[in-house]
Amino acid sequence: MSSKKLTQVEVDALISSVNTDTTAAADVSASKQIRDFEFGADDLSLLGDYYALRVINDRFARLARAVFQPMLRFQPRITAMPPEVKTFDEYCENAPSLMSLTTSRIDELRGSKMMVIEPDFIAALTNAYYGGDLGLKHRPRNDFTATENRVVEIITKGLNENLLTSWQDLMPLTFSDETREENLQFVSFVDGAETVIICGFTVQLPKTKTARIDILYPLQTLKPIAAQLRSRMQSEVIDDDLTWRERLELAVLEVPLILEVQVCKPRLSLSQLIDMRKGDVYPIRLREGLSVMIKNEKMFLANIGEVAGTSAITITKKIHTES
């Protein structure tokens, strides 16, 4: 390989350009976006680039789609937004007076998290759940109805389960001491000056504006696992992300069926049937290879017996029926 070296003229030009003071100060006095910043004073340096938290949010967005399917009758598109860092007061500045606020304690981290859902989204879900139109405009109000509170309970339960599933690759968590509020001014989460990490998710719905769900973690809650949050997880241990076909198959396999054992088939004449009275005794003969019926279809052969004083059957053969 050939390497090109600088000539003496080029070296002299570089030295002269360094010695010459050509730096000019920029006038930014008219800019409104400039603020003072002190290096080393940012508490968020411990969390790095939130890579692990981004992965968790992406998984949660993928799993959470199934929570809204029974109400919307389709799986909406949910997008995980980049985590934001604000003080709790800054987050509350532009928040509406009525919101669904569900606070849960994270036992393993000795902290808490809060799930925030917009009231318009809850009203749209309730309306769609009972056959209404998603595009219906909802008037502002001061509280949720009893039906909406029940919908909130169903949604938060499903979302919390999916959130635990999303976290289990990094570390297993459990949520406890769940409380609900409807106004940020009365929620007991963190002090206003404390820093929170906001994980936002947008839910795209037809005929209406995009809804948003926020999950808030206090910075002090995630600091003990800062090293894990900086790591780049490669493993995938989540096995609950099932397709619609797999969920349907699992649901079909859980359908209860009734087994009927045909002990015997006695023959009677019509005159005997007409003269049959209460207390009449007709002898039967038990045989091997009793027929086990499911919905009047012969499926198995079995022998009758007894287990621990209870009558029972033993399956001896499966009958292959022609389809």
pLDDT of residue 47: 52
Distance CA 63, CA 80 (A): 12
Q: Work out the angle at residue 278's Cα, subtended by the Cα atoms of residues 272 and 282, and round it to the nearest 5 degrees.
A: 50
| Residue 100 and residue 184 in contact, taking contact as beta carbons nearer than 8 Å | no
Same domain, 56 and 205: yes
Same domain, 285 and 267: yes
CATH code of residue 209? 3.40.1550.10
pLDDT of residue 158: 93
DSSP state of 194: S
Last residue of one domain, picked from the residues 224, 248, 272:
248
Note whether residue 12 is domain-resident.
no
Locate 264 and state its tokens. 């015997």
pLDDT of residue 114: 93
pLDDT of residue 22: 53
pLDDT of residue 45: 45
Q: What is the mean pLDDT of each run of 10 residues along the chain (323 residues)?
A: 70 74 56 61 52 89 89 88 90 86 91 91 88 72 87 93 90 89 85 90 86 92 84 54 73 85 84 87 80 86 84 85 60
Q: Containing H/E element for 229?
A: helix 226-230
Distance CA 99, CA 184 (A): 8
pLDDT of residue 132: 80
Same domain, 160 and 266: no
pLDDT of residue 232: 63
Cα torsion 86, 90, 94, 99: sign:
positive
Contacts of 148 (CB under 8 A, 6+ apart): 122, 123, 126
Same domain, 244 and 264: no
Last residue of one domain, picked from the residues 248, 276, 304:
248
Note whether residue 19 is domain-resident.
no
pLDDT of residue 213: 94
Q: In terms of residues, how long is the chain?
A: 323
Dihedrals phi, psi of 165, to nearest 5 degrees: -65, -40
Same domain, 189 and 243: yes
Whole-angstrom CA distances from 66 to 59, 79, 159, 275 are: 12, 14, 10, 62
In 3D space, the residue among 34, 47, 17 whose CA is nearest the CA of residue 231 turns out to be 47
pLDDT of residue 46: 44
Distance CA 156, CA 189 (A): 17
Same domain, 61 and 166: yes
Same domain, 147 and 194: yes
Same domain, 88 and 164: yes
pLDDT of residue 28: 57
The amino acid present at 8, given as its one-letter code, is Q
Domain that holds residue 56: 43-248
Same domain, 197 and 285: no
Note whether residue 214 is domain-resident.
yes
pLDDT of residue 42: 47
**Count of domains observed in the chain:** 2
Note whether residue 133 is domain-resident.
yes
Q: Work out the angle at residue 304's Cα, subtended by the Cα atoms of residues 321 and 284, and round it to the nearest 5 degrees.
A: 95
Same domain, 195 and 173: yes
pTM, rounded to two decimals = 0.59
Contacts of 68 (CB under 8 A, 6+ apart): 75, 76, 125, 155, 203
Same domain, 136 and 181: yes
pLDDT of residue 184: 82
